[in-house]
Amino acid sequence: MAMNYITSAKLSLLGIGLLILQLSASGSENRQTRANYARPFEPPTRPALLALPPGAVEPQGWLRDWCLAARDGYTGHMDDYHVEFKRAWATDHTMTGECLNWPKGAWPYEGGGYWFDGLARLGYILQDDSLIQQAGRRLDVVVNNMNTNSILFLWWLNRNNAEDVKGSLMGGAWPIWACGLLGRAMSGYYAASEDPRVLKTLETAYSGNRDQIRVGWAMSNTWPAFDTYTWTGNKKIAAVLTTLFSKEGGGMNPGGTSWSRYRRMPGKEPGAEENDHVVHFLETTTPWAVGYLWTGDDSFLKAALGWHDFFESIAMQPYGAPVADEWYHPTGAFRGTETCDVAAYLWSKVMLLTVTGNSMMADRMERLFFNAAPATVSRDFKTHVYFQSPNRIVSSSPVFDHGPRASGGNYKPFHHPLCCTAALNRILPWFVTHMWMATYDNGLAATCYGPCKIKALAADHVPVDIICKTDYPFNEDIEITVKPVKEATFPLLFRIPGWCRNPELKVNGTTVDAAKNDQGFVRLNRAWKAGDTVRLHFPMTAVVSTGVDQAKGAAKDHKHKPDKLSLPEENKTPGKPYATVSYGPLLFSLAIPETSDVNTPDQSARWQFALDVNNPNVTVTRGSMPAKWDWPLSAPLSLSVNARTIEWDPQPQDPSLPMTAITGSEPSERIKLIPYGCTKFRISMFPVTIK
Ligand SMILES: [Zn+2]
């Protein structure tokens, strides 16, 4: 062991020597020619888009109001919600041995990773020094204590000590998984702060041990390890990634096949694949896209995308997040989505958007962010659900399969386990940070829409301010003002939402061709000068979609039981017909107003309706935006639709839609629908009528 340490210490010195050589030989000349936001050490296969550092995109308007609620609610105050957040990565909470298993004391390493990632990014996007300093104080504990013996970021453990290594593998290598979340927080913090001590911490963590990022749920470390390589060119990190993506890499995983199965495409034959825990699924399928960047072998990317498509076609809920209660299952009106998976799904789509440049990934980011995201938290951002479901009629219903079961659907300051309380902090800053991205030809791309301000470089290091003035998605118009410090020629790319059939685009008042390219963007390459404006008009249309709910009922017990999967067209389970109503990226719901608090529905509210799918006759009503945005029941946008009163008395323990469409010729009445995100109790997957 001692011998090993000396050898690796020498290698580490050699690594630093090589790094300096590389910087002087290729890095510096590279800097003149490389794109504004490209990293100094990138493999030849490049991602389609480049992330801007956290803080380049600043939320405005309704989006800023919501981010301020996050700051004043959970994100700035997690220590007040539960003592575990005081313990997260603190000097006086250094677990060893058995206590590195999550129920025995190591949980705060996951919670801290999630929270600090959200905290630092929210601080930078709001330019809030107090949040940035709070994130810095917490992350500095790791930065200041890191040493070459550390096991990833577990600085109090010694990777040359067999007992410590054994401890780090407790609970399916729980601490290694948690390290990946902290690595992601560190990576975001470094991208924003450019603090060399933070980069050194990342480099020390990921160059130290070649095997540990291949155990258990350790794939969470892949992206931050790759990030660290692209900033440092560290040869040992390169070796880790090369081993991971070599042919035998998956087989060398001491955790078995739980993640190497995702190196290949899913089998499409009915029952060929089993479902998975959704956090694990998202965190373990997505990183194979790094394999494509690292090796140039596109079978890695095809596998990642193939699994995401498979998952999408089986488990997607109309609010844009999958069924994840906590495993994935067929779409269902009373199935749940764990809040951790709202955050993890968004993260996975950011990554796949970055690698592929395909606007469909951004469509999915918006659908999730404008629907599922606001349902995770109360309007004051001080209570949250563990599970949300399309239909929520009464509190403590339904009984979800896992986690806190029935109480998981209620808004509470925290839930046990605490994962979602931590993970929810990531949702807003990850979306805002990636609303605009850079291109390798020194352009900028509008990937997701909403009110915001951008400060970024374009063309040959020309600083550009961009202001996006809009109430989108609550209206259809976006006014973008471009202000480069001097006239400069560069491309601006605008995503055309996949749902939009007739987009209109004007530059300085003149209509330009809004035909999108293969990736779903309109690219305007021209000389931009201060004050140029781009007006986007994305006409929305109401869409009534129908489907069948093939979800199974509530589980009798709390045991993880994998299910064999079939694509919906091959699923023989009898389905209950349902309909949903969307308008642009928004899902609409019949709100059941809450009374004294967000867990008490108005008993007198009528919600027993079936949607008249033959003649929905949807009409749109617009109001003005409120002075301060908090996802109100008095929404600025509402729809009216034909529906019929029905007999429907779902049992709270195991609710379901009616088995068949409702027949009869009673007249329809008009019911009002509002955005799903503005409701706390609601029907959004409706029973249907048949003539
Ligand atoms: Zn969770």
pLDDT digits (tens, 9 = 90+) for 412-430: 999 999 999 999 999 999 9
How close is the Cα of 336 to the center of ligand 1, in Å? 12
- What b/e readout covers 149-169, taking b as 16+ CB neighbours within 10 angstroms? bbbbbbbebbbbeeebbebbb
598 and 480 fall within a common domain: no
Give residue 506's identity as a one-letter amino acid code.
Answer: K
pLDDT number for residue 258: 58
Grade residue 571 by pLDDT with cuts at 50, 70 and 90. confident
| β-bridge mates for residue 583, sequence order | 542, 586
How close is the Cα of 77 to the center of ligand 1, in Å? 19
How close is the Cα of 411 to the center of ligand 1, in Å? 14
Q: Reduced to 3 states, what is the DSSP secondary structure of residue 91? A: coil
The domain that contains 474 carries what CATH number?
2.60.40
122 and 167 fall within a common domain: yes
How close is the Cα of 618 to the center of ligand 1, in Å? 36
How close is the Cα of 82 to the center of ligand 1, in Å? 15
656-665: average pLDDT: 93
Q: Check pLDDT > 70 for residue 340.
A: yes
- Return d(Cα 456, Cα 458) in angstroms, integer: 7
34-48: average pLDDT: 97
How close is the Cα of 326 to the center of ligand 1, in Å? 8
How close is the Cα of 283 to the center of ligand 1, in Å? 13
101 and 237 fall within a common domain: yes
523 and 578 fall within a common domain: no
392-397: average pLDDT: 97
Grade residue 666 by pLDDT with cuts at 50, 70 and 90. confident
How close is the Cα of 80 to the center of ligand 1, in Å? 19
How is residue 504 written in tokens?
């209109």
Grade residue 359 by pLDDT with cuts at 50, 70 and 90. very high
How close is the Cα of 339 to the center of ligand 1, in Å? 6
Phi-psi region of 346 (alpha: psi -120 to 50; beta: other; left: phi over 0): alpha
Q: Reduced to 3 states, what is the DSSP secondary structure of residue 343? A: helix
Q: Are 171 and 106 in contact (CB under 8 A)?
A: yes
pLDDT number for residue 249: 56
Least confident residue range of 192-201, 338-347, 663-672: 663-672
How close is the Cα of 418 to the center of ligand 1, in Å? 7
How close is the Cα of 344 to the center of ligand 1, in Å? 10
Burial of 587 (0-12, 13-18, 19+ CB in 10 A): buried
Last residue of a domain, one of 502, 537, 572: 537
How close is the Cα of 420 to the center of ligand 1, in Å? 4
How close is the Cα of 341 to the center of ligand 1, in Å? 7
How close is the Cα of 330 to the center of ligand 1, in Å? 20
627 and 515 fall within a common domain: no
How close is the Cα of 276 to the center of ligand 1, in Å? 15
In a domain, 348, yes or no: no
pLDDT number for residue 570: 86
Q: What is the pTM of this model?
A: 0.94
Per-residue pLDDT of 70-102, as tens digits, reads 999 999 999 999 999 999 999 999 999 999 999
How close is the Cα of 416 to the center of ligand 1, in Å? 9
How close is the Cα of 373 to the center of ligand 1, in Å? 14
How close is the Cα of 54 to the center of ligand 1, in Å? 24
| 39, 40, 339, 437, 460 from 31: Cα distances, Å | 9, 7, 41, 20, 12
411 or 574, which is more confident?
411
pLDDT number for residue 172: 84
How close is the Cα of 386 to the center of ligand 1, in Å? 6
Per-residue pLDDT of 120-157, as tens digits, reads 999 999 999 999 999 999 999 999 999 999 999 999 99
How close is the Cα of 385 to the center of ligand 1, in Å? 10
134 and 170 fall within a common domain: yes
Q: Are 43 and 293 in contact (CB under 8 A)?
A: yes
How close is the Cα of 356 to the center of ligand 1, in Å? 28
Give residue 475's identity as a one-letter amino acid code.
Answer: N
- Residue found under tokens 């995100």: 677
How close is the Cα of 154 to the center of ligand 1, in Å? 23
In a domain, 282, yes or no: no
How close is the Cα of 478 to the center of ligand 1, in Å? 35
How close is the Cα of 424 to the center of ligand 1, in Å? 9
How close is the Cα of 17 to the center of ligand 1, in Å? 43
Tally of CB atoms within 10 A around 650: 18
How close is the Cα of 419 to the center of ligand 1, in Å? 4
Per-residue pLDDT of 156-184, as tens digits, reads 999 999 999 999 999 888 999 999 999 99
User: How many domains is the chain built from?
Assistant: 3
Q: Check pLDDT > 80 for residue 29.
A: no
The mean pLDDT value of the chain amounts to 92
Least confident residue range of 225-229, 239-243, 282-286, 435-439: 239-243
Residue ranges with CB less than 5 Å from ion ligand 1: 338, 340, 419-420
615 and 565 fall within a common domain: yes
533 and 549 fall within a common domain: no
How close is the Cα of 377 to the center of ligand 1, in Å? 13
How close is the Cα of 246 to the center of ligand 1, in Å? 32
596 and 519 fall within a common domain: no
How close is the Cα of 290 to the center of ligand 1, in Å? 25
- Return d(Cα 516, Cα 504) in angstroms, integer: 11
How close is the Cα of 421 to the center of ligand 1, in Å? 7
How close is the Cα of 437 to the center of ligand 1, in Å? 29
527 and 613 fall within a common domain: no
Q: Of 293, 160, 283, 163, which Cα lies nearest the Cα of 218?
A: 283
Grade residue 13 by pLDDT with cuts at 50, 70 and 90. very low
635-645: average pLDDT: 97
How close is the Cα of 160 to the center of ligand 1, in Å? 33
Per-residue pLDDT of 541-566, as tens digits, reads 999 999 999 998 888 787 777 888 88
pLDDT number for residue 246: 84
DSSP at 277: B
Q: Reduced to 3 states, what is the DSSP secondary structure of residue 430? A: helix
120 and 222 fall within a common domain: yes
Grade residue 31 by pLDDT with cuts at 50, 70 and 90. low
Chain-centroid distance of CA 191 in Å reads 18
Per the structure, the complete domain to which residue 522 belongs is given by 462-537
Q: Check pLDDT > 80 for residue 25.
A: no
How close is the Cα of 571 to the center of ligand 1, in Å? 28
In a domain, 48, yes or no: no
How close is the Cα of 347 to the center of ligand 1, in Å? 14
174 and 90 fall within a common domain: yes
646-665: average pLDDT: 94
How close is the Cα of 397 to the center of ligand 1, in Å? 18
pLDDT number for residue 365: 98
Beta strands, E only, 310-357 = 337-338
In a domain, 110, yes or no: yes
Grade residue 5 by pLDDT with cuts at 50, 70 and 90. very low
State whether the Cα torsion 546-638-609-681 is positive or negative.
positive
Last residue of a domain, one of 537, 568, 591: 537
How close is the Cα of 280 to the center of ligand 1, in Å? 11
In a domain, 524, yes or no: yes
How close is the Cα of 121 to the center of ligand 1, in Å? 20
How close is the Cα of 345 to the center of ligand 1, in Å? 12
| 308, 428, 586, 645, 646 from 322: Cα distances, Å | 11, 18, 16, 29, 29
Q: What angle is formed at CA 212 by the lines to CA 211 and CA 215, rounded to 5 degrees?
A: 100
pLDDT number for residue 468: 98
Tally of CB atoms within 10 A around 539: 12
How close is the Cα of 634 to the center of ligand 1, in Å? 30
Least confident residue range of 29-43, 286-300, 602-616: 29-43
In a domain, 391, yes or no: no
How close is the Cα of 422 to the center of ligand 1, in Å? 8
| 61, 432, 487, 493, 534 from 445: Cα distances, Å | 21, 14, 18, 4, 13
Q: Are strands 444-446 and 488-495 parallel, antiparallel or unpaired?
A: parallel
In a domain, 147, yes or no: yes
- What b/e readout covers 408-437, taking b as 16+ CB neighbours within 10 angstroms? bbbbbebbebbbbbbbbbbbbbbbbbbbbb
Grade residue 532 by pLDDT with cuts at 50, 70 and 90. very high
How close is the Cα of 133 to the center of ligand 1, in Å? 27
In a domain, 227, yes or no: yes
How close is the Cα of 603 to the center of ligand 1, in Å? 30
Q: Are 296 and 44 in contact (CB under 8 A)?
A: yes
Last residue of a domain, one of 507, 537, 567: 537
DSSP string, 173-241: HHHHHHHHHHHHHHHHHHHHH--HHHHHHHHHHHHH-SSGGGSTTGGGGHHHHHHHHHHH--HHHHHHH
